[in-house]
Chains A and B, each alone.
Chain A
Amino acid sequence: MIDLTVNQARRELDLPGDTPLLWALRDRLGLTGTKFGCGIGSCGACIVHLDGDPVNACMTSLSAAAGKSVTTIEGLNDDIALALRSAWISEQVPQCGYCQPGQIMAAAALLARHPRPTDAQITAAMDRVLCRCGTYNRVRRAIHRAASPTLEAT
């Protein structure tokens, strides 16, 4: 039995410790917003926050998450998340949308650390998330927009 907190709720999971967090979330807890893209930590579609840090859920074992707090796209509801979602819609970022939960999770972790990120900081934080539709420039603009209350107000 593995204890962890998922989106602020305590969960006990009767799963092998080597189960990737990704599949525990998707198949056991029904949290399908976290996506499977590569299984090798190369695409970022499965990024969740583990005690606030962005991690690839496909490369994080359930035992590594034991006792920790996991936030998924479904549970991301703080001020940063609201600003990001609003900016994402203002910039019309999503196309197919499959990578977008990972993009937003990575962006939220970035803004928590750097409330006014530079272009270089955005690239460094977001380079781990692939988007086959090529929404990168809009992702960048949306992060700047979310980080700028004046811009967001216009």
Chain B
Amino acid sequence: MARRLRLDRRAFLLGTAAGGGLLLGLHLPLETRAEATPGAGPRPGHKTPFAPNAWIRIEPDGDIAFIVARSEMGQGVMTALPMLLAEELDLGLDQIRVRFAPVAPAYANRLLGRQATGGSTSVRDAWTKLRAAGALTRRLLVQAAAARWGVEADACSVHRGEVIHPGGDRRLGYGELAGAAARMPPPVSVSLKAPEAWTLIGTPAPRLDAPDKVTGRARFGIDVRLTDMVVASIERCPVPGGKVQSFDAAAAEAIPGVKRVLAVAAGVAVVAADTHAALAGRRALRVQWDLGPHAETSSAGIRAQFERRFADSGVSVRREGDPDAAWSAAARTLEAVYEVPFQAHACMEPMNCTADVRADGCDIYVPTQAQSRCQHTAMAITGLSAQQVRVHTTFLGGGFGRRGEQDFVRDAVSLSKALGRPVQVIWTREDDIRHDFYRPAGLHRLRGGLDLDGMPVLWKHHIVCPSILARVRPAAVADGIDRTAVEGAVNLPYSIANIALACSLEHTPVPVGFWRAVGSSQNTWVTECFLDELAAAGGQDPLALRRGLLADAPRHLGVLNLAAERAGWDTPSGAGRHRGIAVAASYGSYVAQVAEVSVSAGQVRVHRVVCAVDCGLVVNPDIVIAQMESCIAFGLTATLKSAITVSQGRVQQGNFDDFPLLRMSDMPEISVHILPSNAAPGGVGEPGLPPIAPAVCNAVLAATGTPVRSLPIRLEAAPPQRPAPQADRS
């Protein structure tokens, strides 16, 4: 049955009232549309297009543009979001062009409250909104055709961008109808296609960005070239919170091409005619730093700081049954401390931003996940109004949460303002690794109790970690709980009679931020590994134990069973191979993974990962598969390869020699199985990540009998790993 949506006029009048925002884009009166979406207006030299809403532009010549208001960072929004519009408009993806949206209120992500891409929200936010936008537009086009022919609109059909006359012998293209459709009164309600009628949603439509990404034509932020642009590179204090004491620019200024060396908020900037000169100037620059109060910070010190918080009980986040009595009454108890290090994002495209600040306006060309924030950043620095600040989103060479930050935007906007010309600020890889907002380190104390049958009857979990929200939204942690710090733990799905989860937020000088799958990326590792410890202590098969505890969690159980079945959990794993399993829900989706590993000479090799995902209705199954593969690879780097450590206040890693990423030779065979579902779409950019670390570590536990309680995995027999010595420019 087709779903009928009532288009409520009040939605527009109420503005951004909760839920009302859904239809806001549909109800912008014609005259405000161009203003509401600056830069998304007509192409130069063209007549005003038919612009029924913020996402669709139909030119009289038949050119159709879809405006994508989310950032394409690999997760496929440039394809998945147009699929929603194209489905309802009966267009093929080969018939449309895509433009990235300017910053405008109509493009706010209702799940994030601003124009931003993150939290695996893009399809969840757009699911109804964009289909409604497509359906409304189709309705107007059909009405225009019906009026021209003098027939009933409902008797007409549409196919690939044409309205077809009831007689079947006459057709009018969308472009031909654009002018008339723009004058049609908007309908009060609009029907969405029934799922049985979908021809595009649910198909593995090829990505629209692929052709440009195999030819080198795709433009990333770092590829922006403006007339009169200079390039700047900024030397930052190696210790967070430090300041410039003095600097000697003479050697830097002697480098051919270097134009200026100046102190800026972030440190000392070397401005040059090109990138090579800017980087050479930086190498020649000498800066004396006032290192500030954090020059003694170390990873060991931070760990001790965390450990002290175990002395108090923390803030209670979830409490069921009587955990204290259960601890005393349990037939067997188990205690473990798990440790997670800081992690860098290491997007392949180093941070960068290009800004052109003038007296009357500012253009920012930036690979960003956070258009609204970029606009606010520039307004604060320049004093310009929202209308005067335009944000041009490029392709993002990876995002993973890092590109929601504003540091690189501030760099470029403040320098362009100071110099009065366009500036591209480019970070080196060392800048990127050493000045990240890291995934928080954390220390977790787990206490479990088993009954006489080896079934868990008690689960106590105390999380100590720094808070991300304390920096980005302090009001959100007023009660001492950061929801991003406890996600993946607070939603422990298992039926255990006595549960206590507590958290202690512990600030450190190391900046922390959102890293792919955020809290779940590490809390799920802790909970799923400790569950396997309890299974081993109780003499239970890890899969059987999970099944027993998930009777009331059908979607967890669904993916768990599918992954186990496809991995052949009940069959022998082959000589030297061991399996581990883990399951988690995050961002509205459910994922289980089975990892098959071998351990030899202290080295863990992951041979195969079987992944089952239930992400509700699927827009593009191949993108879902690709995102599961991507999450597994991203998670494996943190599981097997890399960590950020701090000594004397400084991050010790700086490039891919000492912060190694997963390479092809490390990559397991991966098979992804999508569980059919009619539930509303869940996220896919992150939910594949949480289960991989525990699946691998549980396989290592099966192989060695020893639990892995810190990451990345470093087994006893492993030879000591020392980073290659590196010149320090500081």
Establish whether residues B398 and A136, one from each chain, have CB atoms under 8 Å apart when the complex forms: no
B335-372 Cβ-contact flags toward A at 8 Å (1 or 0): 00000000000111110000000000000000000000
Establish whether residues A94 and B207, one from each chain, have CB atoms under 8 Å apart when the complex forms: yes
- Kindly count the residue-residue contacts between A and B in the assembled complex, taking CB atoms under 8 Å apart: 174
Q: Does B50 interact with chain A (Cβ within 8 Å)?
A: no
In the complex, what distance in Å separates the CA atom of A31 from the CA atom of B211?
Answer: 17
Contact of B214 among A32, A37, A85 (CB under 8 A): A85
Interface size on A, residues (CB 8 A): 57
Contacting residues of chain A (92-133) with chain B, CB-CB under 8 angstroms: 92-101, 104, 122-123, 126-127, 129-133
In the complex, what distance in Å separates the CA atom of A83 from the CA atom of B8?
Answer: 52
Establish whether residues B276 and A23, one from each chain, have CB atoms under 8 Å apart when the complex forms: yes
Chain B, Cβ-Cβ closest to A104: B214
Q: Does A145 interact with chain B (Cβ within 8 Å)?
A: no
Q: Does B405 interact with chain A (Cβ within 8 Å)?
A: no
B402 to chain A, nearest CB (A): 11
A119 to chain B, nearest CB (A): 10
Contacting residues of chain B (392-419) with chain A, CB-CB under 8 angstroms: 395-400
Establish whether residues A133 and B74, one from each chain, have CB atoms under 8 Å apart when the complex forms: yes
Contacting residues of chain A (66-100) with chain B, CB-CB under 8 angstroms: 72-74, 84-85, 88-89, 92-100
Establish whether residues B429 and A38, one from each chain, have CB atoms under 8 Å apart when the complex forms: yes
In the complex, what distance in Å separates the CA atom of A126 from the CA atom of B664?
Answer: 7
Chain A, Cβ-Cβ closest to B427: A36
Given contacts A27-B274, A137-B629, contact A96 B215 (CB under 8 A): no
Establish whether residues B274 and A130, one from each chain, have CB atoms under 8 Å apart when the complex forms: no
In the complex, what distance in Å separates the CA atom of A100 from the CA atom of B212?
Answer: 10
Grouping DSSP codes into helix (H, G, I), strand (E, B) and loop, the B interface class, with mixed when no group exceeds half, is loop
In the complex, what distance in Å separates the CA atom of A84 from the CA atom of B216?
Answer: 13
Given contacts A19-B276, A39-B429, A94-B210, contact A127 B664 (CB under 8 A): yes
Establish whether residues A134 and B662, one from each chain, have CB atoms under 8 Å apart when the complex forms: yes
Q: Does B669 interact with chain A (Cβ within 8 Å)?
A: yes
Chain B, Cβ-Cβ closest to A120: B665
A13-52 Cβ-contact flags toward B at 8 Å (1 or 0): 0011001100110111011111111111011010000000
B665 to chain A, nearest CB (A): 5
Establish whether residues B350 and A37, one from each chain, have CB atoms under 8 Å apart when the complex forms: yes
Establish whether residues A133 and B633, one from each chain, have CB atoms under 8 Å apart when the complex forms: yes
Establish whether residues B397 and A35, one from each chain, have CB atoms under 8 Å apart when the complex forms: yes
Q: Does A139 interact with chain B (Cβ within 8 Å)?
A: yes
In the complex, what distance in Å separates the CA atom of A105 from the CA atom of B401?
Answer: 29
In the complex, what distance in Å separates the CA atom of A38 from the CA atom of B206?
Answer: 30
Contact of A92 among B207, B219, B633, B669 (CB under 8 A): B207
Q: Does A140 interact with chain B (Cβ within 8 Å)?
A: yes
Interface size on B, residues (CB 8 A): 63
Chain B, Cβ-Cβ closest to A73: B216
In the complex, what distance in Å separates the CA atom of A133 from the CA atom of B626?
Answer: 9
In the complex, what distance in Å separates the CA atom of A31 from the CA atom of B225?
Answer: 11
Which of B210, B220, B231, B632 has the most chain A CB atoms closer than 10 A to its own CB? B210
Given contacts A74-B216, A97-B395, A136-B664, contact A23 B348 (CB under 8 A): no
Tell me which residues across on chain B come within 8 A of A123, comparing CB atoms. 664-665
In the complex, what distance in Å separates the CA atom of A93 from the CA atom of B398?
Answer: 15
Given contacts A42-B655, A92-B622, A137-B667, contact A97 B209 (CB under 8 A): yes
Contact of B348 among A20, A45, A127 (CB under 8 A): A45
In the complex, what distance in Å separates the CA atom of A148 from the CA atom of B449?
Answer: 57
Chain A, Cβ-Cβ closest to B667: A136
Tell me which residues across on chain B come within 8 A of A99, comparing CB atoms. 348, 397
Given contacts A34-B216, A133-B398, contact A95 B275 (CB under 8 A): no
Chain B residues with a Cβ under 8 A of chain A: 72-76, 204, 206-207, 209-220, 222-223, 225, 231, 256, 274-276, 279, 346-350, 395-400, 426, 428-429, 622, 626, 629-634, 636, 655-657, 661-665, 667, 669-670
Chain A residues with a Cβ under 8 A of chain B: 15-16, 19-20, 23-24, 26-28, 30-40, 42-43, 45, 72-74, 84-85, 88-89, 92-101, 104, 122-123, 126-127, 129-140
A–B Cβ pairs within 8 angstroms, 14 of them: A30-B225, A31-B216, A32-B216, A33-B215, A37-B349, A85-B214, A92-B626, A93-B210, A95-B626, A96-B397, A99-B348, A130-B661, A136-B667, A138-B629
